[in-house]
Amino acid sequence: MAGKRPPGLQAIVRFLIGISAPALAVGYASFYSIFPSATFPVTSDASAAWILLILLVAALVGGTVGENLREALLSSFVSIPVGFLVGIAMAYAPALAGLYLLEPSAVPFFIAHYSLFVLAMAFPINLVGAILGQLLRGRLRFEPSAGRVGP
């Protein structure tokens, strides 16, 4: 009993775990879409296919964490502004070494302006990912127990 967490706390932890993958994906995809030649993988122009793949996989995996569809959808939508903040933090990273590729005060506006495509795409992709993630969660949850049914 002592090791059990209260249901409210469990939901918060699940929520935070649920937003981690899609938020990191949105942050990375925003950053990559803005600086494709200075990030990883290095490309001359940002690859839309790569961005969509990253967003979809992360949304799908994030969608499997929620206990139900409502939780999964909430996590997937909250992950977008959190991911935006991750993208801003990435753009500020060189400042930790005293380097500035951009004027520090302009970074948030710069990231907001040039990551609009990624942020806009993240809404429908996270929605689809959350639904597919819940379907995947349902299959993974019930298939083992179905195997144990016997006489």
Partner 1 sequence: MAVLLALTLGFLGALSALSLSNFISVARVHASAQVDAKGAFSVLGGSADGRLPDGGTARLRLNVSVSNPSPRSLTFDTVIYKAWIEDGPREAGLNTSRSDVLVRDGTSSRWFYLTFSGSNTSSQASVPAHGTGVVPLVLDLRMAPDPLLFRGVQNITNFAVSRGMSPSTQVWSIFILTSLNIDGVPPPASFTAPLYLYDVVRIVLQFGVDYGR
Query: Cis bond leading into 41, ω under 30°?
Result: yes
- Give the Cα separation of 35 and 52 in Å (integer): 16
Tokens of 132: 């597919």
Q: Which of 99, 103, 144, 150 binds partner 1 (CB under 8 A)?
A: 99
Residue 56 near partner 1 by CB under 8 A: no
Residue 137 near partner 1 by CB under 8 A: yes
CB of 39 to partner 1, least distance (A): 4
Q: Report residue 113 CA to chain centroid gap.
A: 19
Helix count (H) and strand count (E) of the chain?
5, 0
Tokens of 128: 């689809």
Stretch that binds partner 1, among 1-9, 68-76, 92-100, 115-123 (CB under 8 A): 92-100
Stretch that binds partner 1, among 5-13, 29-37, 68-76, 124-132 (CB under 8 A): 29-37
Residue 51 near partner 1 by CB under 8 A: no
**Radius of gyration over alpha carbons of the chain, in Å?**
18
Applying CB under 8 A, the residues found at the interface with partner 1 are: 17, 20-21, 24-25, 27-28, 31-32, 35-40, 42-45, 54, 57-58, 61-62, 64-65, 90, 93-94, 97-101, 114, 137, 140
